[in-house]
Amino acid sequence: MKVLAIETSCDDTSVAVVDDSGRVHAVLSRNQDSSHQPFGGIVPEIACRNHTQFLLPLIDDVLRCSNTIWDGIDGICVTSRPGLIGSLLVGVVTAKSLALALGKPLIGVNHLEGHLLAPYLMDAKYTPRYQRQYPSLGLVISGGHTSLYRLVSPGKYLLLGETVDDAAGEAFDKLAKMLGLGFPGGAVVDFHAQSGSAQAFEFPRPMMRSESLNFSFSGLKTAAYRMIHSLSIEEIKAKMNDLCASYQEAIVDVLLAKLALALKRVEARQVIVTGGVSANSRLRQRATEWADENKIDLLIPPLRFCTDNAAMIGLAGIERLMRNESDTMQLGPHPQSIIGDFQ
């Protein structure tokens, strides 16, 4: 079985052909960073306009790259929630039109489920280190989410904790903006941090010692704002790497502390760290060390499957299809994940 998958929930236009073993036959994405950079953040109106222009040519290309004809496609999967409503709308309406015209099943996918399954994708260069086991623990860290889930069984997820304010990716992006490093900023902060000292500046670790599994990053952002404004431009330039490393360390400390706390509370046979922020080199290193010390099977997707991509939507979608869970033509975009648990 093979599906065509579409991801347009935010500012990446991505399409993929994926089979029921999780093998990615092709995935093609176009980012829109240059369109949003001048505004220092994503402009929803521009994002959906770009999706409209990019999507159909990308679908043609992905079919060609994967040597697939429409007869070889068993379903059309699309991210239907959560995300920017105009962006989701472009993907959902395109997927519905294709499903209707071609007489194929339509499968709406929760973007967060896509991230949680991303480490189980496969391609020529990547095979998951461990076979999938339930129950497991999944931390989704992206520009819009910082959410901790218990994966109970295929398709059944229990929300254990989430951010009460900013997402971890947003915290990275805000620091980059304050330091004039452009947008999106996570990868640039990561790059500077590699040559800096994590002990140079003292940043708060919000909610790290609380018993709650929720996260908070807005206090950290405010502390960075105060710190940066107490320094001269020359000092900021000279201490750029240290600022990035110290700030990044605070985020990584909080993420790993909550993961460890969750693992004490619920049984998990493996742990997943996923989403755009899981591309962070320091987080990957520290999470791997933590997992080794605690003898936990840890899965982090390769970099290309950390950030938004349609391959992960294809895997989540084809698994829904195999469980006979397709959608009707009433499928609509929704800005939020279903609050609490999602199935």
The nearest distance, CB 22 to ligand KG4, in angstroms, is: 19
| Measured CA distances, 216 to 9, 263, 287 (Å) | 24, 19, 19
Q: Of ligand KG4, Zn ion, none, which one does residue 87 interact with (CB within 5 to 8 Å by kind)?
A: none
Number of residues that bind Zn ion (CB under 5 A): 2
CB 329 within 8 A of CB 96: yes
Q: Which of the ranges 18-26, 29-37, 181-189, 292-300 carries the binding residues for ligand KG4, by CB under 6 A?
A: 181-189
Q: Using the structure block, give the residue that is written with the tokens 């609050």.
A: 339
Host H or E run for residue 319: helix 310-322
Measured distance CA(201)–CA(192) in Å, rounded:
15
Q: Is 275 in the site for ligand KG4 (CB under 6 A)?
A: yes
Other Cβ atoms within 10 Å of 180 Cβ, number: 12
Nearer to Zn ion, 73 or 151 (CB): 151
Q: Does 308 bind Zn ion (CB under 5 A)?
A: yes
Q: How far is the CB of 114 from Zn ion (least distance, A)?
A: 8
- The answer to whether 142 contacts Zn ion (rule: CB under 5 A) is yes
Q: Does 173 bind ligand KG4 (CB under 6 A)?
A: yes
The answer to whether 75 and 326 are in contact (CB under 8 A) is: yes
**Nearer residue to ligand KG4 within complex by CB, 189 or 291:** 189
Exactly one of 91, 114, 144, 161 binds ligand KG4 (CB under 6 A); that residue is: 144
Cβ-contact 317, 110 below 8 angstroms: no
Applying CB under 6 A, does 113 fall inside the site for ligand KG4?
Answer: no
Residue tagged 């339509």 (tokens): 106
Give the nearest distance from C-beta 151 to ligand KG4 in angstroms.
18
| CA gap 4, 59 in Å, rounded | 8
* CA–CA dist 343, 335 (Å, integer): 16
**Rule CB under 6 A: is residue 190 a binding residue for ligand KG4?**
yes
The interface partner of residue 187, options being ligand KG4, Zn ion, none and the CB cut-off 5 to 8 Å by kind, is ligand KG4
Q: Reduced to 3 states, what is the DSSP secondary structure of residue 209?
A: coil
Contact status: 147 vs Zn ion (CB under 5 A): no
Q: Would you tell me which residues interact with ligand KG4 (CB under 6 A)?
A: 10, 142-144, 169, 172-173, 184-187, 190, 275-277, 279-280, 307-308
